[in-house]
């Protein structure tokens, strides 16, 4: 080997080792959750691995490039930092630069810094991605050091990765703060809050959480028949402050994209009891669009505003009422305090029952009992309350209309939905006494709905945050190799989940239509809503299961000790199907049931099993809505084989001619052969299943042999035919096209 070849080999080895190290460096940064730690880690890595004499990292903060991490004495870097961001040479932020490809001006601050400090070799690395520049890494060597030109692309990639990590840290920090602040507001709600203050809070959260350029709330003014923009907007809104309405016009006549995602503006109606009180209008720049997640967040904030706004209106009216209203106002205030103290409804039901002298029953949207309060003179059991709920579920007609239901033939309750105007959260049953003041009835019902709806909205915010945390750690649990088991166990403990107790893993996946480019975002939002509905139903059926949404599917972890009935999975599927139909939904879904995991390391394998079963049930001619991995047999292997183009050729070679000859014919030879093979070639069993005589069957079999030009008695040929039919079941009829 010549000297040149040796040098090239050393160079190649060095580049390879550099690639490996930078890859490890990138993975390590994933585990760091603060900007300071990321930058310190980068600094230490350069100093220790590349043996450089100086490392300085500047981060752009406002209009200045500010020192954030350094591997030298601070006095030496005073000439560099802080530095005006606008004066940074753009070439430094576009790609890595070395002394060999120096494009700096001769009198630049950076060049003078290197020359004055006698750095023989240096390079820079931008911290930037496609959208934004975060800063610059400066590295210097006192002695001559070889820097291969191939290293620049690797440093550019590292710089992009650091920028992405810093951006994610900033987003997560903002998101955690938004959720924390929202909880704080929900728990510190004061009755003296003005409408302007509430508008300011909601528009502020809406703008920051959805990363909008501007957000405004318009409220309906009945006297002027107009929608009027409230002064407390989020930034400047380029839309008329007063929108005059005409009769018989829809909302989208005045505002674009009403509850429609995929555009750079969006409108969310604000409603109370199905009546429009205003709209929340938001805009982004022309390069960004609103997603389904943005719409979910804006609806939560909009619902929060609607409920609180209506509460304010009620409170203002109540202050003008006569002395007879004072008791109801006091109770309402006390119930609002209960929403601050707890997430439950026991104390709220008790106070409401005392005000109305009535028993109170609270059902969820599927008429499962949440809680109930018994008035002094009322005597009935929880089982009777449960049975009344089941009866009401089967016999009610319209979801938004009040209805009656009876308990123990003696107690008649008025049932009404608790709704935020968009979806029903629950149903409340009240047995109003005959002497109740009817002038207060409408006001009382509105108060009940608003206070209870506020509590459910608060619960939904908390559940959304909890599900995000759960989904994150469950994804790590389902990795092929778990890096930090102890960390996983600590997260599982938060959800009362013992990973060393046997759990069977299953996956519920909704059958989705083929999306077009125009409706994919809307369909995605609809799918998320359906998955959330199925999650609630699953936990209603078995409160001990753990669920998590992973990759648009619901992963279910069922404790084996809780699966008592041998018909558990059939009963669960029937319950889900019945519940969604009774509530007016049309959702097609399948459940793939994997194996049992007894320790953390077994979750990945059994999740993969459930995944395979789900894929087979969705992408084949199977009519089963649920199945176990152990029932799939050879299909688990064939499901992978079918993706090979040779599988289509194989099926067509053995079955296409027979399929085409049987199509629209009175005698289906294709099905005859399938039944014959399923009965292991038993003529009697096949004739019995097809309801034909043995002689007729033998005639058909002879005809099939002639068409296919093979002998059905030949073991290899029968095996090939069985395999072809199984692959056909996975592909469907399209395989013959």
Give yes or no for a contact between 593 and 610, defined as CB atoms under 8 angstroms apart. Answer: yes
Nearest to 359 by CA among 454, 428, 438, 455: 428
Nearest to 638 by CA among 655, 660, 652, 619: 619
Residue 608's alpha-carbon distances to 406, 612, 615, 619, 647, in angstroms, are 48, 6, 10, 16, 23
Give the number of other Cβ atoms within 10 Å of residue 586's Cβ. Answer: 7
Distance CA(715)–CA(707), nearest Å, equals: 18
The pLDDT, as a whole number, for residue 497 is 86
Instruction: Give the domains, in start order, of the chain with CATH numbers.
Output: 3-173 (3.30.450.40), 189-317 (3.30.450.40), 321-460 (3.30.450.40), 478-624 (3.30.70), 640-736 (1.10.10.2840)
Distance CA(18)–CA(45), nearest Å, equals: 12
Give yes or no for a contact between 356 and 432, defined as CB atoms under 8 angstroms apart. Answer: yes
Distance CA(297)–CA(446), nearest Å, equals: 25
pLDDT digits (tens, 9 = 90+) for 266-315: 999 999 888 899 999 999 998 899 988 789 889 988 988 998 888 888 77
pLDDT digits (tens, 9 = 90+) for 126-168: 888 766 788 888 888 888 887 777 777 777 887 787 777 777 7
Nearest to 201 by CA among 178, 220, 172: 178
Distance CA(151)–CA(683), nearest Å, equals: 73
Distance CA(492)–CA(281), nearest Å, equals: 40
Give yes or no for a contact between 471 and 550, defined as CB atoms under 8 angstroms apart. Answer: yes
Give yes or no for a contact between 400 and 417, defined as CB atoms under 8 angstroms apart. Answer: yes
Copy the structure tokens of residue 275.
């009546």
Any bridge partners for residue 418, and if so which? 426
97 exposure class (CB count in 10 Å sphere: 0-12, 13-18, 19+)? buried
Distance CA(428)–CA(413), nearest Å, equals: 9
Distance CA(42)–CA(84), nearest Å, equals: 23
Distance CA(167)–CA(29), nearest Å, equals: 13
Give the number of other Cβ atoms within 10 Å of residue 206's Cβ. Answer: 26
Distance CA(48)–CA(144), nearest Å, equals: 18
The pLDDT, as a whole number, for residue 433 is 67
The pLDDT, as a whole number, for residue 564 is 66
pLDDT at 675 over 90: no
The pLDDT, as a whole number, for residue 6 is 42
pLDDT at 416 over 50: yes
- Mean of pLDDT values over 322-327: 62
Q: 3-state DSSP call for residue 649?
A: helix
Q: What is the mean pLDDT of the chain?
A: 79
| pLDDT interval class at 4 (50, 70, 90) | very low
Pairing of strands 626-628, 589-597: parallel
| pLDDT interval class at 52 (50, 70, 90) | confident
Give yes or no for a contact between 433 and 357, defined as CB atoms under 8 angstroms apart. Answer: yes
What is the pTM for the complete model shown?
A: 0.42
Q: 3-state DSSP call for residue 137?
A: strand
Quick one: which H or E segment has residue 444? helix 441-477
More confident call, 71 vs 533 = 533
- Mean of pLDDT values over 317-323: 62
Give yes or no for a contact between 154 and 433, defined as CB atoms under 8 angstroms apart. Answer: no
Q: Which residues neighbour 442 within 8 Å (Cβ) at sequence distance 6 or greater?
A: none
Angle 668-671-676 from CA coordinates, rounded to 5°: 120
How much of the chain exceeds pLDDT 90, in percent? 11
Distance CA(490)–CA(492), nearest Å, equals: 5
The pLDDT, as a whole number, for residue 281 is 96
Question: According to the 3-state scheme, what is the secondary structure of 472-539?
Answer: HHHHHHCCCCCCCHHHHHHHHHHCCCCCCCCEEEEEEEECCCCCCCCCHHHHHHHHHHHHHHHHHHHH
Torsional sign, CA 182, 186, 189, 195: positive
Angle 254-260-264 from CA coordinates, rounded to 5°: 80
pLDDT digits (tens, 9 = 90+) for 345-399: 888 888 888 877 788 888 887 788 888 888 877 777 888 888 888 887 777 665 5
The pLDDT, as a whole number, for residue 2 is 46
More confident call, 111 vs 12 = 111
pLDDT at 600 over 80: yes
Phi, psi of 394, deg, nearest 5: -75, -25
Angle 669-678/715-731 helices, nearest 10 degrees?
110
Identify the residue whose tokens are 């719409």: 295
pLDDT digits (tens, 9 = 90+) for 257-273: 999 988 999 999 999 88
Give yes or no for a contact between 270 and 305, defined as CB atoms under 8 angstroms apart. Answer: yes
The pLDDT, as a whole number, for residue 218 is 96
Would you give the distance in Å from CA 428 to the centre of its chain? 30
The pLDDT, as a whole number, for residue 3 is 44
Using alpha carbons only, how large is the chain's radius of gyration in Å?
A: 34
Distance CA(157)–CA(26), nearest Å, equals: 10
State the distance between the two ends of the chain, measured CA to CA, in whole angstroms.
58
The pLDDT, as a whole number, for residue 273 is 84
């Amino acid at each position: 080997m010549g000297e040149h070849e040796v040098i090239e080999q050393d160079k190649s080895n060095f580049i390879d080792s550099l690639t490996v190290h930078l890859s490890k460096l990138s993975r390590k940064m994933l585990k760091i959750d603060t900007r300071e730690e990321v930058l310190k880690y980068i600094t230490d890595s350069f100093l220790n691995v590349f043996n450089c004499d100086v490392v300085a990292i500047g981060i752009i903060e406002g209009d200045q490039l500010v020192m954030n991490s350094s591997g030298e004495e601070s006095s030496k870097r005073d000439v560099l930092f802080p530095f005006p961001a606008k004066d940074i040479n753009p070439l430094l932020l576009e790609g890595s630069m070395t002394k060999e490809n120096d494009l700096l001006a001769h009198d630049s601050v950076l060049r003078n810094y290197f020359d004055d400090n006698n750095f023989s070799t240096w390079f820079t690395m931008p911290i930037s991605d496609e959208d934004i520049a975060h800063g610059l890494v400066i590295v210097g060597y006192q002695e001559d050091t070889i820097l291969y030109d191939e290293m620049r692309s690797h440093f550019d990639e590292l710089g992009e990765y650091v920028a992405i990590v810093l951006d994610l840290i900033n987003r997560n920090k903002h998101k955690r703060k938004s959720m924390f602040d929202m909880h704080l507001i929900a728990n510190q709600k004061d009755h003296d809050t003005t409408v302007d203050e509430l508008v300011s809070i909601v528009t502020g959260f809406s703008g920051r959480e959805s990363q909008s350029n501007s957000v405004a709330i318009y409220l309906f003014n009945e006297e002027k028949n107009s929608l009027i923009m409230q002064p407390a907007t989020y930034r400047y809104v380029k839309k008329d402050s007063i929108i005059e309405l005409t009769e018989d016009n829809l909302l989208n006549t005045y505002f674009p994209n009403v509850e429609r995602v995929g555009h750079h503006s969006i409108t969310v109606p604000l409603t109370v009891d199905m009546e429009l009180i205003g709209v929340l209008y938001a805009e982004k720049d022309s390069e960004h669009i609103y997603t389904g997640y943005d719409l979910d967040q804006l609806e939560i904030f909009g619902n929060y505003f609607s409920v609180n706004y209506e509460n304010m209106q009620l409170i203002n009216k109540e202050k003008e009422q006569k002395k007879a209203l004072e008791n109801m106002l006091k109770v309402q205030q006390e119930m609002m305090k209960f929403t601050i103290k707890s997430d439950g409804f026991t104390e709220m039901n008790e106070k409401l029952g005392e005000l109305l002298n009535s028993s109170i029953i609270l059902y969820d949207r599927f008429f499962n009992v949440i809680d109930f309060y018994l008035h002094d003179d009322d005597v009935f059991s929880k089982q009777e309350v449960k049975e009344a709920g089941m009866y009401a579920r089967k016999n009610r007609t319209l979801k938004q209309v009040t209805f009656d239901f009876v308990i123990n033939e003696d107690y008649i309750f008025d049932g009404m939905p608790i709704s935020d105007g968009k979806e029903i959260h629950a149903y409340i049953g009240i047995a109003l006494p005959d002497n109740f003041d009817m002038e207060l009835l409408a006001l009382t019902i509105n108060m009940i709905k608003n206070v209870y709806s506020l509590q459910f909205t608060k619960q939904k915010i908390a559940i959304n945050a909890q599900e995000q945390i759960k989904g994150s750690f469950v994804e790590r649990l389902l990795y092929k190799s778990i890096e930090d088991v102890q960390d996983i166990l600590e997260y599982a403990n938060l959800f009362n989940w013992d990973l060393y107790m046997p759990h069977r893993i299953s996956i519920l996946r909704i059958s989705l239509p083929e999306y077009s480019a125009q409706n994919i975002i809307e369909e995605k939002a609809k799918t998320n809503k359906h998955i959330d509905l199925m999650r609630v139903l699953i936990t209603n059926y078995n409160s001990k299961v753990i669920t998590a949404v992973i990759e648009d599917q619901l992963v279910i972890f069922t404790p084996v000790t809780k699966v008592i009935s041998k018909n558990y999975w059939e009963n669960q599927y029937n319950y889900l199907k019945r519940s969604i139909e009774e509530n007016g939904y049309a959702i097609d879904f399948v459940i793939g049931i994997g194996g049992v995991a007894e320790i953390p390391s077994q979750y990945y394998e059994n999740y993969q099993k459930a995944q395979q079963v789900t894929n087979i049930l969705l992408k084949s001619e199977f009519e089963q809505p649920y199945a176990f991995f152990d029932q799939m047999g050879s299909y688990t292997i064939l499901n992978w084989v079918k993706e090979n183009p040779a599988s289509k050729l194989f099926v067509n070679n053995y079955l296409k001619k027979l399929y085409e000859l049987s199509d629209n014919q009175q005698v289906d030879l294709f099905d005859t052969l399938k039944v014959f093979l399923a009965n292991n070639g038993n003529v009697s069993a096949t004739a019995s299943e097809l309801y034909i005589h043995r002689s007729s069957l033998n005639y058909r079999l002879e005809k099939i042999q002639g068409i296919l030009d093979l002998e059905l008695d030949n073991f290899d040929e029968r095996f090939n035919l069985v395999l072809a039919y199984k692959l056909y079941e996975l592909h469907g009829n399209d395989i013959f096209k």
